Amino acid sequence: MKKLIINANVFNGVDNKLIENVSVLIEGNLITKIGEVDTSIADEVIDAKGGTVMPGLCDAHVHITMSDSFNILDTMTTNEIAIRSAKISEDMLMRGFTTVRDVGGNTLGLKNAIETGYATGPRIMPSQAAISQTSGHSDYRQNQAQQRLRNGHEDSPLMKTGTFAVADGRSEVLRAVREQLFNGASQIKIMAGGGASSTFDPLDTLQFTLDEMKAAVEAAEDYGTYVCAHIHTAPAMKRAAEAGVKCFEHATIMDDDIAQIIKDKGIWVVPSYFTSSLIAERKIPLPNEETYRKTERVGKAMLKSAELIKKYDIDTVAFGTDCVGTKDVHATQMNELGAVEKTFDTITALRMATSNCGRLFEMSTYQHPYQEGKLGQIVEGAYADLLIIDGNPLEGVECIAQDETKKVIMKDGVIYKNTL
C-alpha cells in the first residue's frame, strides 16, 4: 500500500527551515521518498494543500497507567486501571503523540494491545515498574505503612500491579532491574532522590547508595540499555552521574557544577515546565501542605535550571510532560509544548518533542521495540509517524496545539485523523 502526500512543506524534526513544496511517499509503515514523486504510483493521494508535514510528537516522560491520585489508584482493580489507561493512550494519540516513553507503570499489556489492534494509542517505550529503595519516592506503602512493614517486606497494591518496585542492596536492585527487562522494559527507571508529589520522602534525601545505583546501571547496560532517574537535587545528580545514570528526569535544582557534568557526560535531561507550574500554582490537588511546599520549591528551581541548560548549551534535552491524574490532567499534555517554547524558543521546543526524543530512545539499542525505522524525524527510512499541520510550526507551536489546525495524524502508516 503506497500513500502519497502532495503539496506539502516538510519540517524534518531537526532543521530550522522547511523543505518546501514536496511530496512524501509512504510505503507500508515507512517513509520511502521525500521530493518529486509521480502520483500515478500511489494507491492513495493525500493533498496537504500547502500544509506542513512534521514528525508525530514524542513524549519522553508519561505515566499512562497513573489515571488518578496514588491513594485512589491504590484502591482500583487492575481491570479498572487497564480500561482507564486505554482511554488515556487513545487521547494521547489523538493529540498527536505517536511515541511515548512510559517512566513508571505496567504498560506492557497495553503496548501489546495497541500493537495487535485491541486498543488505540502511541508507540510505547515501557520502563515497567519504577524502582525505589524502601522509603524512597515510589515506596507508596505509606498507606498503613506500619501495618504493612510490621510483617516484613509486604507489597502494596501499586507494587502488585507492577507500577512500582522496591529494592534494597545490590542483589535486590540487580533482580528488580532484571525483572523489568524480563517484562519488556526498554529502559530502567529508578528513583534517585526525594520527590515533590510524595508525602513520605523529603526532597533533599539521597536515595540508593552509589553501589546500588551502579548495580542498576550494570544490569541495564548488560541488556544494552540505560537507567533514567527521577532526580531533583544537585547532590543526587552528582551521585547518579558517577554511577553512570544516562538520563535525569526533572533535574530541577541544578547548579553550575552539575550543568557542566551533564554537558561533559552527555546526560539527557527531561524537564517538565507546565506540570511543575500547575503544581506550583496549586492547581493540582496534593495530599498536604508539605507536598505543596516541596512542589513550589521544585517549580521555582526548574526555571533556573532552564537558564543553566541554555548557559552550558546542553542539547541532550527531551520533551516530557509527567502528567499524573485523571484524563483531564492528562489532557494538559499539549500545554507543555507552549511552556517549552516560552522557556526556550520554537525550534528548541520542536526538536525536543521530535528528533531529540528519537535520539534518546535510540539509547535502548536492542531493548528498543521499534527498530525498523527512525523515530521523531521526517526522513527517508523513518517510520510513517507524522502530522499534517495547517500552518508553519517554525513560526510558533500554537498550530500544533490546536485541534482545528492539526489536520492529519498518522502512526505506522495508518491514518487516525484526517480533516483536510
**Residue numbers at the binding site for Zn ion (CB under 5 A):** 322
State the nearest-atom distance from the C-beta of 250 to Zn ion, in Å: 8
How many Å is the Cα radius of gyration of the chain?
21
The residue among 3 and 232 lying less far from Zn ion, judged by its C-beta, is 232
CB atoms within 10 A of CB 349: 23
State the nearest-atom distance from the C-beta of 4 to Zn ion, in Å: 40
The residue among 52 and 197 lying less far from Zn ion, judged by its C-beta, is 197
What is the three-class DSSP state of 101? Answer: strand
State the nearest-atom distance from the C-beta of 193 to Zn ion, in Å: 13
How far apart CA 401 and CA 95 sit, in angstroms, is 8
- Burial track 300-311 (b if 16+ CB lie within 10 A, e otherwise): ebbeebbebbee
State the nearest-atom distance from the C-beta of 249 to Zn ion, in Å: 6
The residue among 322 and 341 lying less far from Zn ion, judged by its C-beta, is 322
Cell of 150: 510490621
The residue among 279 and 401 lying less far from Zn ion, judged by its C-beta, is 279
The residue among 229 and 314 lying less far from Zn ion, judged by its C-beta, is 229
Of 71, 204, 189, 194, nearest to 137 by C-alpha is 194
Cell of 233: 537535587
The residue among 37 and 131 lying less far from Zn ion, judged by its C-beta, is 131
Chain residue whose CB lies nearest Zn ion = 322
State the nearest-atom distance from the C-beta of 134 to Zn ion, in Å: 20
State the nearest-atom distance from the C-beta of 360 to Zn ion, in Å: 15
The residue among 322 and 412 lying less far from Zn ion, judged by its C-beta, is 322
How far apart CA 197 and CA 12 sit, in angstroms, is 36
Please report, for residues 108, 158, 174, 408, the alpha-carbon distance to residue 76 in angstroms, rounded to integers and kept in the order given: 18, 9, 29, 35
State the nearest-atom distance from the C-beta of 61 to Zn ion, in Å: 6
Of 330, 324, 332, nearest to 72 by C-alpha is 324
How far apart CA 417 and CA 96 sit, in angstroms, is 9
How far apart CA 58 and CA 349 sit, in angstroms, is 11
